[in-house]
Amino acid sequence: MDLLNGRGSVESGSESNEPNTADGCADGSYGVYHEDESVDKIVVRAGGISDPVLGIDLEAGKPATVVATVYAYNDGSEDYADFYYARDAYNLTWEYIGTVQPSQGGIQELMVQYIIPDGVTQAVRVIFRQLGNATSSCSEGGYKDMDDLIFSVSESTEPSSKPSSNPSSEPSPTPSNIPSIQPSSLPSQSPSTIPSKNPSSTPSEIPSSGSSIPPSNTSSSGPSSKPSNTP
Ligand SMILES: [Ca+2]
Ligand SMILES: [Ca+2]
């Protein structure tokens, strides 16, 4: 496919459907084809830059690599490729992926990788520019080429939702507190102390005195007086 080959309306190298952007963002018109900057081809393939996955559909949630074939001016040191993606090609919101500089002049491939978002019909944009910064997904520049690629994405084959978290801990195999088999202390089999002394068999002391009230000397019932009369 050479639809993207060349740039805008550049002489002897105009794009066949310029500017080849989904929103009509225009290319710069300065310079000459394959002396100055152009994006000539864009490929989006499954897998990361260093681990391509061939022969499968692009899938949401999986890595993909954008490969831009560009022509860099002079030794390439003044040129930059900005990469963007949009999750909905029919309602474009460009998200910046990154910027790559050429390692040399002329035709070469520049790549970035990203995680494909949800969305049935998505897009990527490559802006190849001289100098400047990656300030906008639709910037000015006389030598700038902007090209988009629209492609289909398969739904994710991963479960739609995962458990929010793993169980916090394994069940404990046994209760954390095992009842003690026996009481922690057994009753003593005998009283801990025995009386220190046997009871004395006899009172220890004899009462120190007799009755506190001595007997009266005379019987109270005795005659109160001598016979009053003698015979
Ligand atoms: Ca273009
Ligand atoms: Ca182009």
Q: What is the pLDDT of residues 174-218, one digit of tens each?
A: 655 655 565 556 555 655 555 555 555 555 555 555 444 444 444
CA of 120 to the centre of ligand 1 (A): 24
CB-facing half-sphere around the CA of 63: CA atoms within 13 A: 12
Beta-carbon neighbours within 5 Å of ion ligand 1: 19-20, 27, 145, 147
In the numeric block, which tokens belong to residue 184?
Answer: 């922690």
Upstream peptide bond of 19 is cis (omega within 30 degrees of 0): yes
Residue ranges per domain, the chain? 38-152
Q: What is the pTM of this model?
A: 0.69
Q: What distance in angstroms lies between residue 78's CA and the mean position of ligand 2's atoms?
A: 18
203 exposed, middle or buried (CB, 10 Å; 0-12, 13-18, 19+)? exposed
- Residue whose C-alpha is closest to residue 128's, from 8, 46, 229: 8
- Percent pLDDT > 90 in the chain is 62
List pLDDT tens digits, range 121-155.
999 999 999 999 998 999 889 999 999 999 999 99
For 6, 111, 125, 174, the CA distances from 22, given in Å and listed in that order, are 17, 21, 9, 65
Domain 38-152 -> CATH class = mainly beta
CA dihedral 185, 189, 191, 194 (to 10 degrees): -140
Q: Is the pLDDT of residue 106 over 50?
A: yes
Tens-place pLDDT, residues 42-55: 999 999 999 999 88
